[in-house]
Chain A
């Protein structure tokens, strides 16, 4: 685990503030967050409701703008980019897995998986595509539309879509929130495999200690600040830290 800290981080946040509204109505969602996510590591962001964990992820992924501070993805400072450049950056260098509404209902599973590549006008690496599909067990589901897939299958399609572009980092926002525990375990297991065996970088927001225990490292947020972190987590150690935070 410690070896991953040697290489430069995939994503870095320095002094990030995020304020919603102005004046009396201003809400400080993030206050001076400094955090780095190592390449080829699986990091979970945890915290009680309202701690700012989703906001942090949105800022890191270039979905939302920051009020102050810098976020760097590889060698690009994304906080300096405009909407168009950000969009292209997301398309080419970031993968997403959301809690729900991950897939376009009008497209088949295969079309959904290939969507980011087509948007970028890139030819899919067929061998990689086949490998991803096989690892995720989606071979016989490729022609189906999302309404014909189970919740777990839908999330696996979302994982395949995130992986197929070989992004620098995958952001997963409560990816198991809508799944039963068996399907959730499958998805988390797959995310961990993709990190360990394929060298993928994954940042996941979750409130579930079991989900967090699949990560290499857990970062704890409270009231918009990084308050703690834990390497090599287990469900129990995570739960203990959360209790200590009062969440």
Chain B
């Protein structure tokens, strides 16, 4: 039987090639994910092992604790310790080339040691040796046009400016924070002064003698309060921390790989189903000459296993190549991710080959079973067209589909409409989506006929006979068309789902901004890290703004942070009275903001803890607790803190202070751009102050969403490509079946162009059916998902993107039909008409 299986594979080389490609792409995705993340991890391990190798002993704070500065003295006095570096880390806002602090968050300030314990890679120049010297992180310097020898200014936590000379550029290694915020490296003493954080985050120690004894000596001196590690353990610890990201990347990518494999499985199933149907005579002949059902069954399975194995091996190669290419790209980008050597681990090989072969064989099981049902006498009957005939929706299938569909819709409806918004609701919607998708798969063959008619109506009208023949050809083997289309539904459905959810997020944000917070600009200091307040907006700036005619309304927001019991920090704030209800319009759940007078407070609804309008709340202040009467409960997405008091009360309880943020509108009739220029001119002398227009913020938000959509779309793109192989495959197999028919058409006067048009249209019909169902499911469940996310979510349908997806499906169908159509058009009429 094995020989026959081999011959079967050889005889259908092209078909098998396309099916193999589908498997190969899926396996390539899986293997590539493993190779990429393994290689990244290997690079991370290597880098940390190298940098930690310079350290004999390291002291780290235990979980949730600090390392007091005094620890450094204790460590220094341990015999055998020769060098100590107390690593400092905090905020050190670098002023960029535009005269404003660089980035949304302050750059990281780091201490850089001298001598043996200097662990960073100084790319050019040298490490800082004097209090007025710094090194800049390479990309931070590049983006601000700073180089060795430049003079730079850093703003400390108090707002004071300090000038430094750049002595070198450094690569601070794998560090998310540094990668995102940029970094400035100081001498240890200067680092403490600028960041205002005297407590080290880590103490590195070099010593003479045996490192193991040194570690014990240090540990003994510290009395077991902190973690004391040797160099190797430190390397492992740091690598493991960075490795968490690699694991996340891997999980994320594998999810998309799973989608790709699911689509591959559909393509494989369809190919084998068609091949078995086409080979009915061959199978029957085998049964005539004595092959048992079991042998036929195993023969088909052997064919699929062999195909799965070969394709998976190719996929493995593809994965390694893909990961290599990606690593080379990342390596060039120097994006903090190390381009380690390509690592192909046994688990990666096992996962790739295992999944590839298992999916192929599993997908070939149903066709193999139907092959066993071929009666020997079928060999003697005249051939009937395989896979043809009207599809009858049997009762079991109807009941199953109805149950699945009803359960899915109920679950999604419950999540979207009835249940409180949140994770449970979202899971219900997702589960509902999966169930409805299964229901659609079950009824799909019955849908093919009406859907082909509908999609084919226009081409049939425009393209005449070829168009009408394409429609009837798409309908003639409903199961086949259904499976082919469903493969495309998966990718397109998920893509449109994401597009709808993203559009919903965008619409929600827009609606909230317009409704609750209609301001043109916001002016504030750079955000700080931790619980520190940002640099305030000086009163002089606000006064000047209020005087300018091109500026309309101005709203000041003051916030006080007071530590309360249980380690919590309470935020209490006040805004310009006149702006409340005009520039800032939170949803008032109860009471009225107009009633806000001294001695009262408006409370964010979800912080009310059962208190109602008229009740009193206790607010902690630096001068003790104050009791305030609640006049309003509010909610919504505004910058208001949980407790809002009057400006008078705020000044009384917390003292006079500058605003944390100022919100502005251009004066009526003034071009917002001109108003923005004015604001920029006024704040020019204050490097920590930044102004952002709401439109600009929205744009950035939109860009972020678009980026995410593009990445998700790219990852799902593979599933769509695999589905295309499915269309090409189905069409190719159909062309083989219909060789005679094509020849007859040609003899009767169908031109080559018309024949190709006919097949292209058939492919387009299949693609559009798949895409339209995908888009339908995606829109419905995207809407449901948006509804289930947040109470104020505004669902939206991105019509352009949806139309784009369907257009993409049309193009994809055309592309998939190129080869089969060419083959059909090229075949000689005379040879095809010859009788065997």
* Contact call B472/A87, Cβ cutoff below 8 A: no
Q: Is the CB of B465 within 8 A of A87?
A: no
Residue of A nearest to B828 (CB): A64
CB distance from A143 to the nearest CB of B (A): 15
**Cα distance A116–B464 in the bound complex, in angstroms:** 12
Q: Given A105-B476, A106-B476: A63 and B747 within 8 A (CB)? A: yes
By the criterion CB–CB under 8 Å, are A101 and B388 in contact?
Answer: no
Q: Is B751 a contact of A87 with CB atoms below 8 Å?
A: yes
The 8 A CB mask of B453-493 against A (1 = contact, 0 = none) is 00000000000110001001101100000000000000000
Quick one: closest A residue to B748, CB to CB? A116
Query: What's the nearest-Cβ distance from chain B to residue A29, in Å?
Result: 11
Q: Does B395 contact A (CB under 8 A)?
A: no
Number of residues from B at the complex interface, CB < 8 A: 28
Note all chain A residues with C-beta closer than 8 A to B833: 63, 98, 101, 173
**Could you tell me which residues of chain A, from 75 to 119, have a CB within 8 Å of some CB in chain B?**
83-84, 87-88, 90-92, 96, 98-102, 104-107, 115-116, 118-119
B745 at interface by CB-CB < 8 Å: yes
The CA-CA distance from A120 to B751 in the complex, in Å, is 11
Complex: A241 Cα to B740 Cα, angstroms: 34
Q: Mark B378-407, 1 if CB is under 8 A from A, else 0.
A: 000000110010000000000000000000
Question: Is A121 in contact with chain B by the CB < 8 A criterion?
Answer: yes
B685 at the interface (CB under 8 A from A): no
Shortest Cβ distance from B384 into A: residue: A147
Question: Interface size on A (CB < 8 Å)?
Answer: 30
For residue B566, CB closer than 8 A to chain A, the reply is no
Determine if A120 and B749 form an interchain contact, defined as CB atoms under 8 angstroms apart. yes
A100-B835, A101-B741, A104-B744 are contacts. A64–B830 as well, Cβ < 8 Å? yes
Does B829 sit at the interface, judged by CB under 8 A?
A: yes
Q: 0/1 per residue, A113-141, Cβ < 8 Å to B?
A: 00110111100000000000000000000
Question: What residues on A are CB-neighbors of B464 within 8 Å?
Answer: 118-119, 121
Q: Does A58 make an interface contact (CB < 8 A)?
A: yes
Q: How far does the alpha carbon of A115 sit from the alpha carbon of B384 in the complex, in Å?
A: 23
Residues of B contacting A: mostly: helix
* Interface residue B152 (Cβ < 8 Å from any Cβ of A): no
Tell me the complex Cα distance, A106–B478, Å. Answer: 13
Interchain CA distance A104-B385 in the complex, whole Å: 12
Are B749 and A106 in contact, with the CB atoms below 8 A? Answer: no
Residues in A with CB closer than 8 Å to B746 are: 87
CB of B747 within 8 A of CB of A104, answer no
A64-B830, A104-B741 as given contacts; A96 in contact with B469, CB under 8 Å: no
Chain B, residue nearest A58 (CB) = B830
Q: Flag whether B752 is at the interface (Cβ < 8 A).
A: yes
| Contact A96 B829, CB 8 Å, known A104-B741, A115-B465 | no
| CA distance in complex: A87, B754 (Å) | 11
Complex: A72 Cα to B626 Cα, angstroms: 112
Residues of chain A within 8 A (CB-CB) of B752 are: 83-84, 87
Interface string of B216-229 (1 = CB under 8 A from A): 00000000000000
Tell me whether B830 and A118 are in contact (CB under 8 A).
no
26 contacts between A and B (CB under 8 A): A58-B830, A63-B747, A63-B829, A64-B828, A83-B751, A83-B752, A84-B751, A84-B753, A87-B749, A91-B748, A91-B750, A96-B747, A98-B747, A98-B833, A99-B835, A100-B835, A101-B744, A106-B469, A106-B473, A106-B476, A107-B469, A107-B472, A118-B465, A119-B464, A119-B754, A161-B748
Closest 10 CB pairs of A and B: A91-B749, A106-B472, A101-B740, A87-B751, A64-B830, A90-B749, A58-B830, A118-B465, A119-B749, A63-B829
